[in-house]
Structure formats: C-alpha cells, structure tokens
C-alpha cells in the first residue's frame, strides 16, 4: 500500500460498501472537508483566521487530489468557512462531495488500494471502495499508535479525532476500545508530548469547533 494522505485514510474508513458517505450522516461529509482543510493548512497553502480562509500559496503537486476543494477557496479575498461548508454539506446536490471523493480516491486505484465500482440509480457513476487489506492497514495503524501506545504521528491523531466526530469508530472498534481511544485523545491533549503532536491535536480541535460554530454539527 502506498503512503496515504490524511484525507485518503479518512475516506477509506468513512465510505460505506457502496463507495459513498452515509446520506444520513452530515458529520461524515463535514469531516471530509475538515481533513482536506487540515492538509492544506499544514502545508501552508491556506490560513484560517476569524472563520475565514485565505489562500497563501499555490497548490503543490502532492496535494493535487485536493484540487476541487482548493479551487473553491482560491479567491483574491478571504472566503468564509461557512460558505465552504454550505457548498459541500447544505447544497441541494452532493455533486461537490462526489467530485472531491473521486479526486482523492482515484489515484489509489493504480496500486490496488481501492477498487472501482459503478453505482447510482439513474446515472451510473464510478465509485471507489477500499480493499479489505487497505482498510485493515489503516485501522491497525490507529490501534498500534493509540491502543497499543506505539510512537505517535500527527496524521493518526487527526484521523482518529475526525472518525470519532463522524461516528465511524464504532464500525472498527469495540465499545471498550472506543472508550479507550477517546481517553487517549484527551490524554494526548493534556500531555507534554512533542510540539508537533500537540499542535496537530489543537489544530483538529480548533477546526471541529469552527465546524460546530458555523454549521451546528
């Protein structure tokens, strides 16, 4: 399996067997947008101040799979965070979400991390479903770092927090393990770990707080 981005790992755990996000779960779609914004912010492409997003640099090639999201916020003036969430979550259609999912997941088809399926009642569209091996590797990475207390990485902390917010941890971990994972996130937040780990935790918490403020989720 190739090195995966935060957003790819999130989708691998968030998509259902039909290759789509659950239609009843707005948090799952919102956390997809948050993961993309976190990647862009970490890379220095954007900054988020006072609930507004400002583009700071061009999109690097390694984040090209986030182009649909980047294109929405690539404006001369700062874009309100509310507008971004509205476009992706409150919109009349799920076209933007589907486009972003396809852009993020399609590159994984080449190395066999995901398989392509066709879905849709009227217009058949290509969708992507992670292989069992790929899904297991992502889940086991969370288990190794947070439940078995291996070396921590920023992406796994962010991924776990997003999956918790989206209500997806229950699909891969027992109730006892979920409780442990949530406790570990709190422990990490209040610990004296290296700065990069704590910075990522704070970054995720700030983004999820903003999500709640602007969308109520």
Model confidence pLDDT, tens digit, residues 170-214: 999 999 999 999 999 999 888 877 788 888 888 898 888 888 887
Q: Please give the average per-residue pLDDT across 105-124, as a whole number.
A: 84
75 within domain boundaries: yes
120 within domain boundaries: yes
- Confidence class of residue 215 from pLDDT cuts 50, 70 and 90? confident
Q: pLDDT at residue 122 above 70?
A: no
157 within domain boundaries: yes
Identify the pLDDT of residue 192: 78
Query: How many domains would you assign to the chain?
Result: 1
Take residue 117 and report the two structure tokens written for it: 């399926």
Q: What interhelical angle do 154-165 and 26-42 show, nearest 10?
A: 160
1 within domain boundaries: no
Q: How many H-runs (helices) and E-runs (strands) does the chain carry?
A: 9, 5
Q: pLDDT at residue 84 above 70?
A: yes
Q: pLDDT at residue 105 above 80?
A: yes
Express each pLDDT in 20-44 by its tens digit: 998 778 899 999 999 999 999 999 9
Find the largest Cα–Cα distance for the chain: 54
Query: 29 and 143 in contact (C-beta within 8 Å)?
Result: no
| Structural domain that includes position 59 | 6-215
79 within domain boundaries: yes
Identify the pLDDT of residue 214: 77
CATH of the domain at 190: 1.10.3630.10
């Amino acid at each position: 399996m190739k090195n995966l981005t935060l957003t790819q790992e999130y989708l691998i755990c968030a998509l259902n067997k039909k290759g789509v996000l659950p239609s009843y779960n707005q948090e799952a779609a919102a956390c997809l947008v948050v993961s993309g914004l976190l990647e862009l912010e970490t890379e220095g492409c954007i900054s988020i101040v006072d609930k507004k997003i400002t583009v700071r640099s061009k999109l690097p090639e390694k984040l090209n799979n986030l182009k649909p999201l980047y294109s929405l916020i690539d404006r001369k003036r700062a874009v309100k965070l509310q507008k971004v969430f509205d476009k992706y979550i409150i919109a009349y259609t799920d076209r933007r979400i589907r486009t972003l999912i396809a852009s993020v997941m399609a590159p994984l088809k080449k190395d066999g991390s995901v398989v392509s399926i066709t879905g849709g009642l009227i217009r058949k569209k290509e969708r992507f479903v992670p292989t069992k091996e790929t899904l297991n590797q992502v889940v086991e990475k969370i288990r190794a770092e947070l439940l078995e207390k291996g070396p921590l990485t920023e992406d796994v902390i962010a991924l776990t927090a997003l999956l918790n917010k989206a209500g997806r941890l229950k699909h891969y971990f027992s109730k006892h393990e979920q409780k442990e994972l949530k406790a570990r996130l709190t422990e990490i937040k209040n610990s004296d770990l290296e700065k990069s780990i704590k910075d990522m935790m704070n970054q995720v918490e700030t983004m999820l707080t903003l999500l709640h403020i602007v969308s109520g989720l």
